[in-house]
């Protein structure tokens, strides 16, 4: 027995509705596309060290340079690299001796106010003519005549340069009492110049009676009398 037409029509309509519902189901969202990283260039291979110094470019006629450059296939050796000159420090200029000091550096000297109390060893040691060693104490006066003198000069040479002293005299030293001592400086001759200072002369070694300048004492306040 066949089904009535209404039943068949109802079944067809229900199938169509179910099919439409099935097509309207929500599909899962797809993930967004990931950015593709740009390919990194491969690192350049390390060049080996050159066995020989690189050849220089050839020079063509008329002073023109012919280029022979090409891609380097090695790195220069340390011995082939041009040496960089180290900077040379400028030499420090030697300090010039103060004016009116006779050519000696007396910058460390202290003023002498009493020539008779000047202490040996507190001045500037110097070496003079004929290998004589001596000392210069005090600070020269503005018009000092002592700046013309040099350690080792004789009495006569000194008097010819700066004139006669205001006062002068001789005295012995402790070396004169040393038995069998025949060196120099057993006796000293002192010359006092007013407004200039004192000059001390030591006798020469042996039995000579000559005296030579070994100590200059600058003192602008010197009275000129011993």
Strands (E), the chain: 58-59, 65-66, 124-127, 133-137, 167-172, 187-193, 197-203, 211-218
Instruction: Dig out the tokens for 144 from the structure.
Output: 């000092």
3-state secondary structure at position 143: coil
Residue 99 maps to a domain: no
Number of structural domains the chain divides into: 1
Tell me, what DSSP letter sits at residue 101?
A: S
Q: pLDDT category, 20, cuts 50, 70, 90?
A: low
Q: Domain range for residue 185?
A: 123-218
Residue 167 maps to a domain: yes
- Is 185's pLDDT higher than 70? no
Residue 160 maps to a domain: yes
CA atoms within 13 A on the CB side of 109: 27
Rounded to 5°, angle at Cα 133 from 131 and 135: 150
Residue 148 maps to a domain: yes
Residue 166 maps to a domain: yes
Residue 203 maps to a domain: yes
Residue 141 maps to a domain: yes
Q: pLDDT category, 177, cuts 50, 70, 90?
A: very low
- Is 11's pLDDT higher than 80? no
Residue 90 maps to a domain: no
What average pLDDT does the structure give for the chain?
74
Give mean pLDDT, residues 74-79.
64
């Amino acid at each position: 027995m066949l089904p009535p037409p209404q039943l068949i029509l109802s079944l067809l309509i229900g199938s169509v509705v179910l099919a439409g519902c099935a097509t309207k189901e929500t599909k899962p969202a797809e993930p967004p596309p990931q950015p593709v990283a740009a390919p990194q260039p491969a690192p350049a291979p390390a060049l080996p060290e050159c066995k020989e110094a690189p050849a220089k470019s050839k020079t063509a006629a008329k002073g023109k340079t012919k280029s022979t450059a090409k891609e380097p296939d090695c790195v220069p050796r340390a011995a082939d690299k041009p040496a960089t000159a180290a900077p040379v420090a400028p030499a420090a200029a030697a300090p010039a001796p103060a004016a009116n000091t006779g050519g000696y550096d007396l910058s460390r000297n202290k003023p002498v106010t009493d020539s008779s109390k000047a202490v040996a060893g507190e001045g500037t040691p110097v070496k003079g003519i004929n290998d004589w060693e001596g000392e210069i104490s005090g600070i020269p006066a503005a018009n000092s005549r002592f700046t013309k003198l040099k350690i080792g000069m004789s009495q006569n040479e000194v008097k010819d340069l700066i004139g006669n002293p205001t006062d002068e005299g001789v005295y012995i030293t402790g070396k004169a009492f040393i038995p069998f001592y025949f060196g120099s400086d057993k006796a000293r001759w002192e010359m006092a110049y007013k407004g200039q200072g004192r000059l001390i002369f030591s006798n020469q070694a042996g039995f000579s009676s000559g005296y030579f300048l070994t100590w200059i004492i600058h003192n602008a306040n010197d009275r000129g009398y011993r």
